[in-house]
Amino acid sequence: MYCRNCGQPYVTDDAVMCVRCGVQRGTGANYCPNCGQPTPVGSQVCMQCGVSLINGAYGLRSPKSKVAAGLLGIFLGSFGVHNFYLGYTGKAIAQLVITVATCGIGAVVSSIWGFIEGIMILCGNIDKDAQGRYLSD
């Protein structure tokens, strides 16, 4: 595996960032993640090894499920569980505080908010986790 930003190999296969350039794994578009060869800007396929370079196609998938996140939003959205699941802790805490601090009166607002976000996740309008990785189907 090679860094898409600087083209150097990762120290370990489970590294989350490149220790040479400091860029998060999977970001960048300068080099092929499979063979490390330079790639022209906007390339969809590496011309050296044939690997797809489109976001989400090579190592940019989140381990989080779109269906699970959507259902959590619909059924437990007033507590922000779906946002905790996807890593959006700021939004999740806001939904939780609205529900708890108002002794449940504000739960109507945060429930509607969570329900709408749950539908948006299932429809694909929200398709990334907090790290910018595409949700798994």
- 54 closest CA partner among 134, 136, 123: 134
The pLDDT value given to residue 16 = 84
The pLDDT value given to residue 95 = 96
Q: Are residues 52 and 70 in the same domain?
A: no
Q: Are residues 81 and 34 in the same domain?
A: no
Residues in the chain predicted with pLDDT less than 50, given as ranges, are 56-58
Q: Domain boundary residue among 43, 59, 75? A: 59
The pLDDT value given to residue 27 = 79
What residue type is assigned to position 119 of the chain? I
Range of the domain at 48: 1-59
Q: Are residues 84 and 52 in the same domain?
A: no
Contact between residue 83 and residue 95 where contact means Cβ atoms under 8 Å apart: yes
Contact between residue 52 and residue 58 where contact means Cβ atoms under 8 Å apart: yes
Whole-angstrom Cα distance, residue 12 to residue 61?
A: 19
Q: Are residues 47 and 83 in the same domain?
A: no
Q: Domain boundary residue among 59, 76, 107? A: 59
The pLDDT value given to residue 25 = 82
